[in-house]
Amino acid sequence: MAMTMTGEATLPAARPKVWALLNDPVVLKTCIPGCQSLEKAGDNGFAAVVKTKIGPVAATFKGKVELSDIVPEVGYTISGEGEGGVAGFAKGAAKVLLADAGDGTMLRYDVEAHVGGKIAQLGSRLIDGVAKGMADKFFTSFAEAAGAPRAEAALRATQTPISAPAASGTEPAAARQAPKKKSWLRRIWEWLMSLWR
């Protein structure tokens, strides 16, 4: 059974960084749902083990992935195949392209895949849904990996006013604001109680 899938994702990083992450097996392993191992195999290839579940069928696929048509910081074609034992097999290719998008990078992908065996009997709707879900999870994780330093900086910035003492050595900002919140809530409470009476 054949299936196709296209999509795009805007990533919060410049093209050189996105390109480096797309070629980093450690990053890819953490982003691919169910990936148990991903190791470099030759100059332009990886050996992978991925565990997944499609409907009632759970399988561990072992296979190889090869990169071709490589244009640094622009894109490549990734092709591969995997065997899942009695569950069946999967093979296919995806064209991945990068383009500038403001401060970030637009990643576009065009996938064509074939599955056979037990999983092919589950129907295209179920398989397409699982494939889309895996793609969504991958790009969510990949976007987080691409923007990790920025996300950490934003987190530190939001935490500082709450937990750090004021420059004068007095109480934290949150503590100074507390009486204002209390008096505001008190006024609302008193107004509600006056309506009740």
Quick: pLDDT tens for 27-40.
Answer: 888 888 888 998 88
pTM of the model: 0.64
For the segment 121-140, what is each residue's pLDDT rounded down to a tens digit? 777 777 777 777 777 788 78
Query: In angstroms, rounded to a whole number, what is the distance separating the alpha carbons of residues 91 and 112?
Result: 9
The DSSP result for 167-192, as a single string, is TTS-S-HHHHHHHHHHHHHHHHHHHH
Give one DSSP letter per residue of 44-57, joined into a string: SEEEEEEEEEETTE
Window from 12-26, 65-79, 141-155 with minimum mean pLDDT: 141-155
Q: What is the pLDDT of residues 5-22, one digit of tens each?
A: 888 888 888 999 999 998
Going along the chain from its start, the domains and CATH numbers come out as: 2-151 (3.30.530.20)
Check pLDDT > 60 for residue 164: no
| pLDDT at residue 28 in the model | 86
Task: State mean pLDDT over 151-161.
Answer: 35
**Confidence category of residue 189, pLDDT binned at 50, 70, 90:** low
* Band of residue 181 on the pLDDT scale cut at 50, 70, 90: very low
The SS3 of residue 105 is: strand
Please determine, for residue 77, whether its predicted confidence score (pLDDT) is greater than 50: yes
- Range 151-176 average pLDDT: 38
The per-type count for the chain, helices as H runs and strands as E runs, is: 5, 7
Percent of the chain with pLDDT over 70: 74
Please report the DSSP string for 129-155 in residue order.
HHHHHHHHHHHHHHHHHHTHHHHHHHH
When pLDDT is averaged across residues 134-162 and rounded to a whole number, the result is 59
Asked whether residue 120 carries a pLDDT value surpassing 80, the answer given is no
pLDDT at 44 over 70: yes
The answer to whether residue 72 scores a pLDDT higher than 90 is yes
